[in-house]
């Protein structure tokens, strides 16, 4: 009898832990909206379609490329999947531009924001050509039949992004840069 009671408690504890983990994941997503700082990023979209989810725009940003001049991290070779922290600050037009990239979260100055990214690939062992990163905000779902319209505006879009203090980013919306 004691063994049965113990097993029931373990199952209940395991179920509670699973629920807490799932709740934590959901809350972290919403916390970006609550605590995040608004930034604007220039983009060039491409419009694919997902049969299950509908129209979405694949976004490529100016800040997806880390140049050798931007790299302030260690001499260690960055590999695919490694965390990279890109520091951005607003340009004259209010659109954020990359200023530095690190392999550990750096301290930032006034007006600067750190975006956490993952290295996609490097072009060579010494970063002579730089390397590409992904922020997890490269796909944005749009209302049905509006993806083509956004594709035609390609270089004229600005993305509004909320960035949490821990570097997680979330797209808040798209804006036509010409208006």
**pLDDT tens digit sequence for 126-149:** 556 688 899 989 888 777 777 767
Q: Extract the tokens encoding 90.
A: 């607003």
Tokens of 131: 């390397």
Does this model's pTM top 0.85? My answer is: no
For residue 53, the model assigns a pLDDT of: 62
* Cα-Cα end-to-end distance for the chain: 72
Beta bridge partners of 96: 90
The average confidence (pLDDT) of the chain is 82
Query: Which pLDDT score is estimated for 102?
Result: 93
Confidence at residue 52, expressed as pLDDT on a 0 to 100 scale: 59
3-state helix, strand, coil in the chain (%, to 5): 25, 40, 35
Helix (H) or strand (E) holding 89: strand 83-90
Alpha-carbon distances of 102 from 40, 89, 108, rounded to whole Å: 21, 15, 12
Indicate if the pLDDT at residue 67 is higher than 80. Answer: yes
Residue 23's Cβ-count burial label (10 Å; 0-12, 13-18, 19+) is exposed
What pLDDT shows up at residue 115? 92
In angstroms, the CA 154 to CA 148 distance is: 10
Task: Tell me what the mean pLDDT of segment 78-99 comes to.
Answer: 91
Q: How far apart are CA 116 and CA 63, in angstroms?
A: 12
**pLDDT, mean of residues 13-29:** 89
Poorest-pLDDT segment among 5-9, 18-22, 27-31, 158-162: 27-31
């Amino acid at each position: 009898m004691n063994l049965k009671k113990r097993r029931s408690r373990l199952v209940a504890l395991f179920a509670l832990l699973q629920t807490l983990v799932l709740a934590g994941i959901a809350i972290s997503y919403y916390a970006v909206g609550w605590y995040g700082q608004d930034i604007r990023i220039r983009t060039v979209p491409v419009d694919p379609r997902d049969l299950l989810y509908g129209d979405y725009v694949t976004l490529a940003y100016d800040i997806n490329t880390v140049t050798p001049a931007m790299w302030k991290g260690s001499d260690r070779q960055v590999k695919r999947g490694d965390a990279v922290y890109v520091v951005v600050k607003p340009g004259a037009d209010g659109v954020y531009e990359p200023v530095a990239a690190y392999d550990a979260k750096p301290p930032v100055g006034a007006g600067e924001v750190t975006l956490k990214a993952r290295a996609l690939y490097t072009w060579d062992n010494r970063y002579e050509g730089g390397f590409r990163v992904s922020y997890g905000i490269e796909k944005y779902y749009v209302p049905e039949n509006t993806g083509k319209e956004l594709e035609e505006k390609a270089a004229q879009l600005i993305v509004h992004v909320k960035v949490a203090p821990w570097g997680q980013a979330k797209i808040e919306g798209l804006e036509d840069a010409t208006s």
